[in-house]
Amino acid sequence: MVSNDASTAAFIREYQERFEKKLKESEVALLEHWRAQLDKIENSRPDSIASLQLQIRKLSEMMANRIKVLKKG
């Protein structure tokens, strides 16, 4: 019975480690995506503050839409 408990604990520990690794990978991918979007805005060199605000608003809307999709599913 003790070996069964040990193998169950080892399985849970391994599963948790894989889950945490996958979670970190997902977070890195997410941050890389949104950073790339911000870099596009920075590199576009907007003509005016209004143009910059419009691009930031568009990015914010993209993020809001993504949040909405994730909350639904």
List, for residues 7-30, the tens digit of each pLDDT value: 999 999 999 999 999 999 999 999
The Cα–Cα gap between 3 and 35 comes to 47
Question: Do the Cβ atoms of 56 and 41 come closer than 8 Å?
Answer: yes
Tokens 């003790």 belong to 2
Q: What is the pLDDT of residue 29?
A: 95
Question: Taking the domains of the chain in order of start, what are their residue ranges?
Answer: 2-72
Residue 49 in this model has a pLDDT that exceeds 60: yes
The pTM (predicted TM-score) of the whole model is: 0.70
